[in-house]
Structure 1
């Protein structure tokens, strides 16, 4: 989740922060950031359970705990909250998968309680609102516990994770700083659980895919490396430069067009034999005639402009008049408002199957994202009940599903040009070149505008990234494809096959 501020709970990844004055900080700020004491013991709860996953009856231990990240002098700087599900009897050669969500201010609640955990919240599967409680919390036969142990991680500022003592939480809020803390946690987990020689996987969703690439670099990019067997990218965002919805960036229009086509088809604004066929046609048009037209700028000729406008209308479901007024460049936020304006509806950003109604129908952008407020209440209730009641984790802290981790440091530390164009895909390319056993799984929803599927394909097709070990799978929903029952089953099957195929 990384775009516009109006949908702030889903858009924290664009928060670059404000520049501050170097020097002593006022006492009030020191007081605000003072965390819990660093000399207490970590909070831990261990429970034992059984369940049926992938058709197998499995006994497992659930450990909900804090892990302290310490400075070189031994001072505890942060408490990382995680939940580990480990099959019994324990097997040191069994795969283990480390999972997190994105934001970058999101806890791991979504993958935990929606996709891969042993229990999940059952919200509507058809793109309608989750309504009011109680929400069903049910056994999840699609959990991956039959093929891998699972560790769900909340980075600092999310879930129950927080800075300790006088540590400023901003020390952990940045692409590299965050990755370093997660890599440190993973090494500690491997130490404590005797799993250094286990097959290892990383899995992230949304900004969690950015985090996966950055953590991969921290684990494998030094001599004291932790080699991985696979990285699971769900709703991928790696190249923030190409996907930036900013004036003058033509690539964002190219990369969003296939998602617009899929959405127009879903809502009856376009016709095609199948979504797969239509988006493939849209890919070819986007990277060909459309890109050619956009890159000419104001030198574009009238005849070519008319041809492109006509085809653009066919793919997007928008009128040629509107496309002309937009100079052939429709931003996603305008598309959300315009596509179904004649029906008085807006569409979702995270999942464009969802629709909503605004205060009025006159504006050019939606009031909010119906695909987020359509699911968030159910997940918040479910994670709190599961952690506090089923797993017995006791704390007075509120679980932060989506929180403010601002300002976020987006620099990769390589100088002006590299930091201006944020792209972590080269980390994946380097790891693939240097680890012959590493494979990449990419799962994308057709109706996702937060992390469009064509943008994921583009970022992973660049120079220096071996293509033979990247596996793509597509789903008939959006950013959180597992909210749709059929896609959760398919995602579970696809990831299970990916892990087994090592």
Structure 2
């Protein structure tokens, strides 16, 4: 028998499993396999690992199928697989969760598997996926356009190989994954011959230009203020979008007007500093020193500084102790993102190795910083955006529906950024085709039980409308 090359991926693996929900017991097949990508001459360039869940008692050829991507760039799909969408889930990312918690999985009562088969995709450099050629091959995959083209090809190849070309196709993505799914949908639609019925973007950035130029543009501060206020208000209980209408009105009205006057207008600075301090609960003198412009790093440190704690940019009410509580500045790990690294990595490796017998002789890359550092955002001067592709796929296919979900206390991708982009879309025959929903929680709001359940209900309603049962 030939020896396996070091780091080579093992053969495909699958298993039969069940998961209990309040209404049903889901019997399903879980499978993991590498999907190869080759150049036009047939030379293998990469192996993309996909993990799929297929409900056993249905006719898969006609059942909806959803391809799921995480963000980063450089993050594996384990966050969504084990955090909220798959049939098994792990508790992480909430106040009280720690890196040393055992990665114990439980049945996910809110799994999307109840209404769609699921395929979790790990792009090159994440999870166990890898490029084969190295160097130039990685450059091709680690770019906005190369990423969209390669992942579109993966979706098309997987659909064909599994005889799922008749299935209604949906795409879901978190953070940068939410940015990439309009690009993938457009590429599928125009190049690979696959129409997409719906998109679910979770905490996305749809247009990076909105968050640039903070020294001269008010948009960063306007879009961030409602999420800062939500953090303060959540100390008294869960916060919904309806609880923030007054903050949205202030941010887009008097706040923006005063920001436009600039720091030389002392009266304007005085007004916004007093109001921002009131809305955020921060020390008024501290807010005034910042001219009413409170950046994320300062907020997550100052909001809990009296308790010797720092918050997470991903969910500002999830905290850890400040390692340097008396220092003027402090460097600290993010309580959510860094806190989730150990339990999620352990859970993923254990899942593949023990549950599926899929053992890989290299590190599982939950978050690959090299991918992020080397990412190529484009050759022009314009910041990357996928709102144009979203507009184009909606215009061409009147049946596509879109749901954008955000957490109220997410400071990494504030929900107001998406509101600004979506408000500029034409109705395309029906303004209800595109919906923005805001849930209690942060960037990964689906880790909260109530928010996960509400989000799943909203997603199922989209599927029922976009792909009604025959």
Same fold (TM over 0.5): yes
> Structure 1: how far apart are the matches of 2:398 and 2:238?
40
- Specify whether residues 185 and 111 from structure 1 end up closer, same or farther in structure 2 by C-alpha distance, changes over 3 A only: same
Instruction: Report what 2:77 is aligned to.
Output: 108
- Specify whether residues 364 and 486 from structure 1 end up closer, same or farther in structure 2 by C-alpha distance, changes over 3 A only: same
Runs of 5+ consecutive residues of structure 1 not aligned to the other structure: 1-35
> Which deviations, in whole Å up to 9, do the C-alpha atoms of 1:223-270 show, x marking residues without a partner?
6531111001111211111123743332111110000000122246xx
TM-score, structure 2 as length reference: 0.91
How far apart are 1:159 and its partner, in Å? 0.4
Task: Spell out the pairing of 1:183-194 with structure 2 (5 A cutoff).
Answer: 183-194=152-163
Please tell me whether residue 384 in structure 1 is matched to residue 384 in structure 2.
no
> Structure 1: how far apart are the matches of 2:346 and 2:209?
36
> Structure 1: how far apart are the matches of 2:93 and 2:184?
34
Instruction: Report what 1:321 is aligned to.
Output: 285
- Specify whether residues 37 and 77 from structure 1 end up closer, same or farther in structure 2 by C-alpha distance, changes over 3 A only: farther
8 Å CA contact retained: 1:338, 1:364:
no
> Structure 1: how far apart are the matches of 2:210 and 2:292?
18
> Structure 1: how far apart are the matches of 2:238 and 2:32?
48
8 Å CA contact retained: 1:333, 1:366:
no
Q: Secondary structure at the match of 1:490?
A: helix
> Structure 1: how far apart are the matches of 2:48 and 2:9?
13
Which residue, out of 301, 306, 314, partners 1:342?
306
CA root-mean-square deviation:
2.4
8 Å CA contact retained: 1:102, 1:204:
yes
> Structure 2: how far apart are the matches of 1:336 and 1:364?
12
> Structure 1: how far apart are the matches of 2:252 and 2:450?
31
Instruction: Report what 1:11 is aligned to.
Output: none
Q: Secondary structure at the match of 2:432?
A: coil
8 Å CA contact retained: 2:71, 2:177:
yes
> Which deviations, in whole Å up to 9, do the C-alpha atoms of 1:442-466 show, x marking residues without a partner?
1111111111111121122225574
8 Å CA contact retained: 1:346, 1:366:
no
> Structure 1: how far apart are the matches of 2:422 and 2:330?
31
8 Å CA contact retained: 2:238, 2:440:
no
Instruction: Report what 2:126 is aligned to.
Output: 158
Instruction: Report what 1:252 is aligned to.
Output: 220
Task: Spell out the pairing of 1:200-279 with structure 2 (5 A cutoff).
Answer: 200-220=169-189, 222=190, 224-244=192-212, 246-267=214-235, 276-279=241-244
> Structure 2: how far apart are the matches of 1:153 and 1:53?
25
- Specify whether residues 463 and 295 from structure 1 end up closer, same or farther in structure 2 by C-alpha distance, changes over 3 A only: farther
> Structure 1: how far apart are the matches of 2:271 and 2:355?
60
Instruction: Report what 1:478 is aligned to.
Output: 442
> Structure 1: how far apart are the matches of 2:119 and 2:150?
15
TM-score, structure 1 as length reference: 0.85
